[in-house]
Amino acid sequence: MKNPVQLKRDESTMITLSDLTEAFEGIASSRLAQIRLDVIHSGVFFDGMWLVYNEIRVDKSFHYGRRTSPNAVINKELYILISSEGGFSGDIDNRLVDNLLSRYNPDKNDIVVVGRHGANLLTQRGIRYVKYYRLPSRDQNINVDPLVEDIKRYSVSEVYYPKYITLSDQRVANIGVSAYVKELAKGAPVNDEIISDINYIFEPTEADVIDHIETAMIFVGMSQLLLQSKIAQYASRFQAMSLASQEADRQTASLHTQISQAVRYLQDERLKETLNSMRGSQVQI
């Protein structure tokens, strides 16, 4: 049986660990709530852009903001993997990589990674990626310009990301960039007004204006996917910290019981030694 002094040290360590995990759990919950509000606000901004875009565009196709520069396209499908920056995401990053690699063909696909953990997982599996970006540490004013430029260079782009369902349920998901823009547009307002060069002056050209709006919509779409990924990662972290906190509490209770048992054991041993000593010192008359 362990010494009570050592057991008390272990108990103190577990209490500290429990306090830390509860603190991280609270931080994750707070950040998750804030990001969900940011997603809602960006959706309102997208609705305004879609209203103008729907009135101005001359066809139903989405051209990724490259109507005026169609020759600068790489004839491959770009896979964008959004992972966590560290290793506190549970197993969701592994599942994301598995999902991506189940479709990956090096002759047909290039990979861009957001998040160090995803890059490390791909490297461990011997998979090359063309670019890596750090996952933004802040949750507001995220600059996704480099990702938008990557998307515009490829004929088709698809994003692999963790999707928040509930606090206890985060799933892997993948969606094409144009499909996601259309998904965002489903609830956007529309009207029958048409904006054209007959009733509006375009500078420099109508095609340039459409390109600019499409680029802006990709920007909003990628910002939303990054924020949604962060929501899922914070939820996963919340769940992991909650389980760790529960385990730390269980270990603390177990150690407290062991301390009581160890103290009683030492007391019993000392009592036995005292009684034996008293018996040995008795004089036979």
Of the two residues 15 and 100, the one the predictor is more confident about is: 100
Reduced to 3 states, what is the DSSP secondary structure of residue 2? Answer: coil
For residue 285, pLDDT over 50 is answered with no
Angle among Cα 115, 101, 237 to the nearest 5 degrees reads 40
Confidence category of residue 119, pLDDT binned at 50, 70, 90: very high
For residue 171, pLDDT over 70 is answered with yes
Cα–Cα distance, 261 to 186 (Å, whole number): 65
Ranking 4-18, 19-33, 134-148, 258-272 by mean pLDDT, the lowest is 19-33
Of the two residues 73 and 7, the one the predictor is more confident about is: 73
Task: List all residues 6 or more positions away from 51 whose beta carbon is below 8 Å from its beta carbon.
Answer: 188, 189, 190, 191
The answer to whether residues 184 and 44 touch, using CB atoms and an 8 Å cutoff, is no
Q: Give the pLDDT confidence of 218-262 residue by residue, as tens digits.
A: 988 898 888 888 888 777 777 666 666 666 667 777 766 777 777
27-240: CATH class: alpha beta
Q: Which two tokens stand for residue 159?
A: 């994003």
Of the two residues 66 and 191, the one the predictor is more confident about is: 66
Q: Give the pLDDT confidence of 19-76 residue by residue, as tens digits.
A: 555 555 555 556 666 666 666 556 676 777 877 787 776 677 788 888 777 666 899 9
What ranges do the domains of the chain cover?
A: 4-21+244-278, 27-240
The DSSP call for residue 90 is T
Nearest to 91 by CA among 227, 233, 242, 241: 233
